Amino acid sequence: MAAIPSLAPSLPAREALLRRGAANVGRCYQCATCSSVCELAPAEAPFPRRLVLLAQWGLVDRLAADPAVWLCHQCNDCTVRCPRDARPGDVVGAVRSLVIEKLAFPGFLGRLVGAARVSWPLLLALPVLFWVALLSWTGHLAVPAGIEANWAYEDLVPHRYIYAVFFPVAAWVLLAAVVSGTRFWKLIGSSGQRQGSLLGNLLPVLTGVATHDRFAKCTAAKPRRLGHLTLLWGFVGAAVTSGLLIVGIYVQHLEMPLALAHPYKILGNVSMALLLVGIALLVGNRLGDAKVAGASSAFDTFFLSLVVLVVLTGTAVELVRLAGDADLGRTLYVLHLGVVMSLFLTFPYSKFAHMLYRTLALVHARMTGIDMPKQ
């Protein structure tokens, strides 16, 4: 006789999910309406009903190994139709936050960001204070006397400090992401036989992400899709602008600040506009119908607030330079560097990490063929 697999229900895990937005998980009676109305669920491995059942029992190990957790885009079409108001969309959202914590490297940072409800002041203030301390120590905290009217931010904070901080930060974040991503890739590997290469399947997945083609199948979350897509392209534009500026400074030897009509500047400002519009749409969505928007746990709110702060301080930094107020510009620039650093450092542990896990899950779904439309 085959061995009967044993389950290890976990009350603490269930309680952690309740706190993270799955408050109604206990109401689910497994009718499976949610799976049948989900446009993203593969026919042969539907969700979210199965995930809600696992969540009710606190079976985090199984949830961590289930790619469906990430195939879900939290359309909330399920939540709108759920006859028990169990809010499956929120349940799977809470599961994602717990899985991010579980896979985090190192674990204590995952727990620190996972506890954003209490740790957020620390997560925001430490990087800002770090910059205040660094600039104070190197004598750059004060605005230099006799600064030109057409000052650039390099006159306030030399680029070498930014490189000295952000390159190691980026390397560290990359390491943490690779370790967590590898853990995740191994875990979900048990859910199907993969064919082809990761890289070979990455491109079509990224093409889909670029248009949010899966998100487009959602009904309830139509407004969120637009905000999310706009924000994504704003971030892409901002990252490309940063790369171009390094080329501009060190290869082309361009004079900073660039004129507003310079192509790099135009790209940067367009990206900024996209970020502003995207974040406004997403915040607006959160303030609307709670069933459609989904629960706003501290984990969600922390990441969203961080993005808001990055975008707003970034915008303000440029406007203040154009207005010529160097004192205010310095203050805002330090704030901006601080919140950007917080965004970077928390990437593998905050909601930001969905970028990593969802991409990998989509690649896995492609390689295993579970996501192929039924013939």
Partner 1 sequence: MSATRPRPLLVVGAGIAGITATLEAAEAGHEVVLVEREPAVGGRAIRSHHYFPKLCPPSCGMELNTRRLERNPRVRVITGATVTACRESNGGREVTVARTPAFVNDRCTLCGACSAVCPAKVKDPFNLGMAEVPAIRLPHPYAWPKRFVLDRDACPAGCRKCAEACTYDAIDLDAKPTQETIEAAAVVVATGWNPYPIDKLPELGGGVLADVIANVQMERLAAPAGPTGGKILRPSDGKPPTRVAFVQCAGSRDTNHLPYCSAVCCLATLKQAIYVHEQLPEAEITIFYIDRRTPGRNEDMLTRVAELKGVHFVKGKVGSVVAGADGSLVLKAEDVELGRIVETRVDLVVLATGMVPNLKSDETPFGLLRDEDGFGVEGAAGVIVAGVARRPEDVAATTRDATGAAAKACMVTGRSA
- The reply on whether position 43 binds partner 1 by CB under 8 A is yes
Interacting positions 57-96 with partner 1 (CB under 8 A): 81-85
Closest CA to 81 of 17, 20, 35: 35
Binding residue for partner 1 (CB under 8 A) from 8, 36, 203, 247?
A: 36
We find the least distance from the C-beta atom of residue 38 to partner 1, in angstroms, to be: 8
We find the least distance from the C-beta atom of residue 90 to partner 1, in angstroms, to be: 15
The rounded distance, in Å, linking the Cα atoms of 55 and 50 is: 9
Rounded-to-10 torsion of CA 117, 175, 60, 29: 70
Q: 148: left (phi > 0), else alpha (psi -120 to 50), else beta? A: beta
The rounded distance, in Å, linking the Cα atoms of 330 and 338 is: 12
From the number of C-beta atoms within 10 Å of its C-beta (0-12, 13-18, 19+), residue 244 rates as: middle
Nearer to partner 1, 80 or 179 (CB): 80
We find the least distance from the C-beta atom of residue 216 to partner 1, in angstroms, to be: 18
- Window contacting partner 1 (CB under 8 A); options: 14-22, 44-52, 174-182, 260-268: 44-52
Nearer to partner 1, 159 or 291 (CB): 291
Binding residue for partner 1 (CB under 8 A) from 7, 9, 15, 30?
A: 30
Closest CA to 41 of 65, 70, 61: 70
Binding residue for partner 1 (CB under 8 A) from 18, 19, 33, 325?
A: 33
Size of the site for partner 1 (CB under 8 A): 20
- The reply on whether position 37 binds partner 1 by CB under 8 A is yes
Cβ burial 120-137 (10 Å sphere, 16+ → b, else e): beebbeebbebbbebbee
Task: Find the helix or strand (DSSP H, E) in which 131 lies.
Answer: helix 116-137
Binding residue for partner 1 (CB under 8 A) from 13, 17, 21, 35?
A: 35
- The reply on whether position 221 binds partner 1 by CB under 8 A is no
Binding residue for partner 1 (CB under 8 A) from 16, 17, 40, 45?
A: 45
- Window contacting partner 1 (CB under 8 A); options: 46-54, 90-98, 243-251, 308-316: 46-54
We find the least distance from the C-beta atom of residue 40 to partner 1, in angstroms, to be: 12
- The reply on whether position 192 binds partner 1 by CB under 8 A is no
- The reply on whether position 194 binds partner 1 by CB under 8 A is no
Q: What is the DSSP string of 36-93?
A: HH-SSS-TTS--SHHHHHHHHTT-HHHHHT-THHHH-----HHHHH-TT---HHHHHH
We find the least distance from the C-beta atom of residue 83 to partner 1, in angstroms, to be: 3
Nearer to partner 1, 36 or 195 (CB): 36
Interacting positions 256-295 with partner 1 (CB under 8 A): none
Q: For the chain, first and last CA: distance in Å?
A: 37
Enter the DSSP assignment of 1.
-
- The reply on whether position 219 binds partner 1 by CB under 8 A is no
Structure tokens, 195: 């064919």
Which residues make up the interface to partner 1 (CB under 8 A)? 29-33, 35-37, 41, 43-46, 49-50, 81-85
